[in-house]
């Protein structure tokens, strides 16, 4: 346990952290600061380097260059000093399927040196937190996907870590379990635990106190969800039409529209002021003879901001 509270307020620091696998650079000059007590969301598409970043931060992978520190301890020189204070939940189910829920938790409690009465207390508490009390004696392999995730989370809690690293903890989990999982995370956050979570889901990113958008091995933006939404600037018109393809080319040619994104059966047109620019947009569509089912004024969400940022990156590199 770190008794030098306040010595270092940073839970996670990364400086030019780089990891290359042969010619492939998975993490490329990654810089980051995460303060204690934050829920930090690392958001990005598949292959952006999220898993590699988490492995580097949890001190189980050596960086090619650059450095990182967790709770003020270097991930290379002081790797073993970090481990008692962190919890790590991999994307894949990494516990023992042939052991029961309780046996899995007991094993990790033992390995972390949690003994005696405290051991039983911690196991009970972790089970309660994860809502797995009635499944104590069930083998882990026989749990549903959502419950396996909760068990994996519970296993990272038995030693009371200060920082939790969760790698896409809700990927492949049904919406109800996902919601329950995030309720647990919120409780943990309120209990003062720093949470570093990677996710491909924007609605989850919205729940974080700060997020970083990772793309091709580095963050292209970090900030609070609100500040990232504001990056997009302006407002948004949501347009429904029978002919999306034609509508899109008209909108892209329209002067007041900065950017167009397709979203299912709708188009999102980004403008400076939705109310003021709406007539011009509707007129352009009408002039082109495109039938519009509905137009709705709204504010861009983080998802739109990220898509826009990634597109800019791709154009900058590709062009």
Partner 1 sequence: MLERIRAVVRKEFLHIVRDPRTLVVIVLIPIIQLVLMGYAATTDIEHLRTVVLDRDRSADSRALIDSYRASGYFEITAYAENEDEVGQLIDRGDARAGLMIPTGYGRELAAGRVGQVGFVIDGSDPAVANTILGASQSVGQAMALKLVEQQLGGKDLQVALIEVRPRVWYNPELKSVNYMIPALMGMILQFLATMLTALAVVRERELGTLEQLMVTPIQPIELVIGKVLPYVVVAFLTLIEVLTFGVLWFDVPIHGSVLLLLVLSGLFLFTSLGLGLLISTVAHTQQEAMLISWLFLLPSIFLSGFFFPIDAMPTFLQVASLFVPLRYLLTIIRGIVLKGVGLEAVAMDVIALIVFGVAVIGLAAWRFNKRVE
Q: Which residues bind partner 1 (CB under 8 A)?
A: 55, 58-62, 79-80, 83-84, 86-88, 90, 92-99, 103, 107-108, 110-113, 115, 155
CB of 212 to partner 1, least distance (A): 22
Q: How far is the CB of 140 from partner 1 (least distance, A)?
A: 11
We find the least distance from the C-beta atom of residue 75 to partner 1, in angstroms, to be: 11
* Beta carbons of 157 and 127 less than 8 angstroms apart: no
Dihedral sign for Cα 172, 176, 179, 180, please. negative
Measured CA to CA, the distance from residue 235 to residue 230 in angstroms comes to 10
Distance between CA 265 and CA 262 in Å, rounded? 8
Q: Which is nearer to partner 1, 90 or 257 (CB)?
A: 90
Q: Give whichever of 60 and 253 is closer to partner 1, judged by the CB atom.
A: 60
Q: Cα–Cα distances in Å, from 64 out to 5, 23, 76, 88, 198? A: 31, 12, 11, 22, 22
* Number of other CB atoms surrounding residue 278 within 10 Å: 18
Q: Which residue, 87 or 212, has its beta carbon nearer to partner 1?
A: 87
Handedness of CA 199, 205, 208, 211 (dihedral sign): positive
Instruction: State the minimum distance, in angstroms, from the CB of residue 60 to partner 1.
Output: 4
What end-to-end distance do the CA atoms of the chain give, in Å? Answer: 51
Nearer to partner 1, 43 or 59 (CB): 59
Residue 102 vs 282, nearer CB to partner 1: 102
For residue 271, the surrounding DSSP H or E stretch is: strand 266-271
- Between 55 and 178, name the residue whose CB sits nearer to partner 1: 55
Residues 6+ apart with CB under 8 A from 128: none
Euclidean distance between CA atoms 270 and 151, whole angstroms? 43
**How far is Cα 193 from Cα 186, in angstroms, rounded to an integer?**
10
Nearer to partner 1, 87 or 217 (CB): 87
Structure tokens that stand for 272 in this block:
């400076």
Q: Which residues contact 108 (CB under 8 A, 6 or more apart)?
A: 155, 156, 158, 159
Closest separation in Å from C-beta 14 to partner 1: 18
Minimum distance from CB of 215 to partner 1 (Å)? 23
Considering the complex, state which of residue 20 and residue 280 has its C-beta at the smaller distance from partner 1: 20
Residue 205 contacts residue 98 (beta carbons within 8 Å): no
Nearest distance in Å: CB 77, partner 1: 14
Write down the least CB distance from residue 57 to partner 1, Å.
Answer: 11
């Amino acid at each position: 346990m770190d008794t030098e509270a306040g010595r270092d307020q940073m839970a996670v620091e990364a400086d030019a952290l780089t990891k290359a696998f042969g010619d492939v650079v998975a993490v490329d000059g990654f810089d980051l600061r995460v303060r204690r007590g934050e829920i930090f969301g690392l958001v990005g598409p598949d292959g952006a380097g999220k898993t590699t970043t988490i492995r580097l931060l949890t001190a189980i992978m050596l960086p090619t260059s650059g450095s990182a520190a967790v709770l003020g301890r270097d991930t290379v020189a002081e790797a073993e000093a970090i481990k008692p204070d962190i919890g790590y939940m991999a994307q894949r189910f990494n516990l023992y399927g042939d052991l029961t829920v309780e046996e899995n938790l007991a094993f990790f409690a033992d390995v972390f040196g949690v003994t005696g009465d405290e051991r039983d207390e911690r196991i009970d508490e972790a089970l309660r937190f994860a809502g797995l009390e009635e499944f104590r004696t069930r083998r882990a392999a026989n749990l549903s996907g959502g419950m396996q995730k909760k068990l994996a989370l519970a296993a990272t809690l038995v030693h009371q870590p200060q920082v939790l690293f969760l790698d896409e903890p809700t990927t492949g989990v049904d919406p109800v379990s996902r919601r329950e999982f995030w309720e647990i995370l919120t409780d943990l956050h309120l209990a003062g635990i720093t949470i570093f979570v990677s996710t491909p889901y924007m609605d989850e990113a919205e729940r974080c106190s700060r997020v970083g958008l990772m793309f091709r091995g580095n963050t292209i933006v970090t900030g609070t969800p609100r500040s990232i939404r504001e990056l997009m600037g302006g407002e948004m018109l949501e347009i429904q039409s029978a002919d999306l393809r034609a509508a899109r080319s008209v909108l892209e040619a329209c002067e007041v529209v900065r950017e167009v994104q397709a979203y299912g059966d709708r188009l999102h047109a980004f403008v400076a002021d939705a109310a003021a620019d709406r007539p011009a947009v509707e007129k352009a569509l009408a002039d082109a003879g495109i039938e519009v089912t509905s137009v709705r004024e709204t504010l861009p969400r983080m998802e739109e901001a990220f898509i826009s940022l990634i597109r800019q990156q791709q154009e900058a590199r590709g062009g």
